[in-house]
Amino acid sequence: MLSIATNHLRSPRILKFGSSCQTSLSTRATCSRMFSSTKAWSKRTYHSDNGMSPDSSSSANVKRSSISTMMLGAGIAGVLAFYSYQPHVSDEQGLTGPISAPEQRKRLISYEEVGKHNTQDDVWVIINGEVYDITEFLKIHPGGVAPIMKLAGKDATKVFAPIHPPDSLASLPPEAHIGSIDVATLPEGLFEETEEEKRLREAREALPVPEAALNLSDIEQLATKVLSHVAYAYYASAGDDEYTHRENAYAYRRFWFRPRVLNDVRHVSTETSMMGMKTSLPIYVSPSALARLGHPGGEVNIVQAAGKEGIIQGISINASCSLDEIIAARLPGQPLMFQIYLDRNRKNSENLLRKVEEAGFNAVILTVDSVVPGNRERDQRAKGDFQAPAGGNGEKKGGAKGVAQAISGYQDVKVTWEDVDWMRTITKLPIILKGIQCVEDVEKAHERGIKAVILSNHGGRSLDFAPAPLDVLYELNQKRPDLTRNPNFEVHIDGGVRRGTDVLKALCLGAKGVGLGRPFLYGNTVWGEEGVRRVIQIMRQEIETNMRLLGVTKLEDLKPDMVRYVTHDIAPVPRQSSGI
């Protein structure tokens, strides 16, 4: 099922870099307003167009999505996504032009009038104070009719805002925009706070300062308090019984250090490079979808934090901020990688690859371990009444539920090594294969001229009982040490990394860089940009401290003989609560 959370990165309209965005819809204020307390939100959304940057640490920002409303997000998304591919009124470059501000405010529509348009033959919805007619697209909506009809004649902003970039609506044709909602006709109690919204607001008001978090587990614990049930289920969920998810982290416990002593470790350097991109730490932000589920600044927060801390970031094709926003937030020379799944319509992928290259990204990451979404039961249960995408004959496929299913409808199941070769004819950017899970595929990638791979199992979110990436790295170092020490071929790793010692173990075994995904989402959730920076600062302090304790001063000093594999069970971890 298509979602604008995905489609805005792939549509020709949104990929027009540097284009102006839609009045208040284009501002980050719109994002910020969605997280304000409910009554404040309603006033700001309908009465204010002033630009206002979201406060990354504000206690007033509240996650507004409940289970019932978040279930509907992909429904509206699928309908609006369709517009992006249609031949509307175009500018001289052939791209859909924005709806003008005067057109946006062409007439006032009463709330009662909107409510009359609630049948399959006549469907209107309200988004950010504007009224849209989506009738024509019900029958082709890949998620079926029911999710849309639950919002027919109602305000869909709560559903729409957390998973869509502010300029998503710029791709709608003018005739779909009916007018603006008449604020005077809004019924009392329309924006009353729900129980979950109250819980989230109070939790956010009680948050400590970022410096109170001493490790990444502290930040995750805080994130569980300020994320909606649906959002946390999506972020934390993994495949089937989640054995691989747990094993990713547990694998690091099987490797113990062999420190060197009596070395001068007054000055240590954590600087390195990955695929020619300089970085202040051997870690990078793994591409992760829908950062705005946690905070209105979304991926923009992460871009700004990564730029200021000097590390590399991967941008997900399913990002909830637009490429325009991401590029605008990027510091001069800041390295960014773009992650892609191949579209069933290869022309869409081709266009996207060209646009990414034009935008100045440094590399492309092709994810190869998730041609279909894993069976993420936590995600599915949290969105229990979500409907499966419709099949080609309009009937339900059955069983497909959850956020992951909602944003993956465009992905092609048929992706082969020949497609990797095809990508190399489209873009000059280096291609990194993410999701390699055995030594044989590392060898094949190297033989086909790929310059870098990421050992990964999608954070345990795909195939349960897939091997932990660290175990694959260990096997690779045993069987093909030439591939972990090849200056023209890089091996990276992600999954289960929560400590600086985890990073150092991976580097000892030959990894060039180490990716973290969920920790950055959790940091963004709790404190926005400052939370992401806190994650990086904690990792920096742990890496530097443990390098000194290992007796090394630069990353090149980390060698395989500085770790050993431990076959016996380690001492059990005592149960203890976080100090946060």
For the segment 228-245, what is each residue's pLDDT rounded down to a tens digit? 998 999 999 988 899 999
Of 526, 404, 520, 372, nearest to 73 by C-alpha is: 404
Q: Which residues of the chain have pLDDT under 70?
A: 1-106, 137-144, 163-172, 383-409, 568, 570-579
**Residue with tokens 């504000």, as numbered in its chain:** 58
For the segment 388-443, what is each residue's pLDDT rounded down to a tens digit? 443 433 344 444 466 666 666 677 889 999 999 999 999 999 999 999 999 999 99
Active site residue 177: no
For the segment 104-149, what is each residue's pLDDT rounded down to a tens digit? 446 899 999 999 999 989 999 998 899 999 887 666 555 567 777 8
pTM for the predicted model, two decimal places: 0.79
Residue 328 neighbours by CB distance under 10 Å: 14
Active site residue 182: no
pLDDT of amino acid 377: 85
3-state secondary structure (DSSP) of residue 325: helix
Catalytic residue among 458, 464, 494, 522: 458
Of 354, 315, 296, nearest to 27 by C-alpha is: 296
In 71-144, where do the E strands start and end? 108-109, 118-119, 122-127, 130-133
pLDDT of amino acid 71: 38
pLDDT of amino acid 263: 97
pLDDT of amino acid 168: 66
The packing angle between helices 229-236 and 216-226, to 10°, is 140
Residue pair 450/488 in contact (Cβ under 8 Å)? The answer is no
pLDDT of amino acid 189: 79
Catalytic residue among 155, 218, 324, 369: 369
Catalytic residue among 83, 232, 341, 410: 341
Active site residue 446: no
For the segment 475-492, what is each residue's pLDDT rounded down to a tens digit? 999 999 999 999 999 999
Radius of gyration in angstroms for the set of CA atoms belonging to the chain, rounded to a whole number: 24
| Side chain identity, residue 267 | H
Give the integer Cα–Cα distance in Å for 237 and 251: 19
Give the integer Cα–Cα distance in Å for 330 and 308: 10
pLDDT of amino acid 406: 62
Q: How far is CA 476 from CA 119, 173, 473, 484, in A?
A: 59, 53, 5, 8
